[in-house]
Amino acid sequence: MRSKNDVLTRPNKLAYKIPKQKRSQKRFHLILKIAERIALKDGFKSLGLNQLAKEAAIPVGSVYQYFPTKEALICCMFEMRLKKFNKMAVDFFTPVQTKSDFKQVFRKMMAEIYHKGTDDKLMTEIWANMQIDPALRQIHREDFVLYQNLYYETLLRIGTTLDKEKLYLRCACINEMTDALIRQAFIAGDQKSRDVYFESVEISLEAFKLS
């Protein structure tokens, strides 16, 4: 998703800059910390860069240096979290060698995503704003493909009864279903949504044709 540069290859209003110097990195993470606190307290609608600079006790120009817009700031917070989930997913699936491994890892990963996501209140706030914020939808779409390809490539490696085209479409559909249900579980936060999500995990394993 990233180029070799520190700035995302996206429209300017969504691009943010990750500093390389330690002093600048400290300020960068301070901005993120204050932004998260404001968002958790009052929601993203109340998050403004001028207010953020005031509460962080830094010049507003320093905020704009890294985050030219509020959208860029939110994108950064979202991507920082997705990056952790993505690393976890890759670490889970890389050593998979058998269909039994795949089933075990898939269940474990989906449970981890649920528990880590529901424990992160800011992530819940982000998911709740997904449909009304084009920037978040764009990042989510990019992230979405990673999981689809991860399932597909792993199943190709360990063997499957489906041909490549059917397997790819199956992975896409399964990913679409589980993604929609985990977002619903995050936002609703109730037992029913949780149960439906975990039921979808088992349906997914059946659809992968691993037996």
Q: What is the pLDDT of residues 49-99, one digit of tens each?
A: 998 999 999 999 999 999 998 888 988 888 888 899 999 999 999 999 999
The answer to whether residue 202 sits within a structural domain is yes
Number of domains in the chain: 2
Buried b (16+ CB within 10 A) or exposed e, 163-202: eeeebbebbbebbebbbebbbbbbeeeeeebbeebbebbe
Tokens 């109730």 locate to 190
Q: Look-up: residue for tokens 């490539």?
A: 153
Its domain, for residue 42, covers 18-66
| Whether 109 and 56 share a structural domain | no
pLDDT tens, 8-29? 445 555 678 888 888 889 999 9
150 lies in some domain = yes
Question: Is the pLDDT assigned to residue 1 strictly greater than 50?
Answer: no
Query: Does residue 57 form part of some domain?
Result: yes
How confident is the model over 113-149, as pLDDT tens digits?
999 988 888 888 787 776 667 777 777 877 888 999 9
pLDDT at 101 over 50: yes
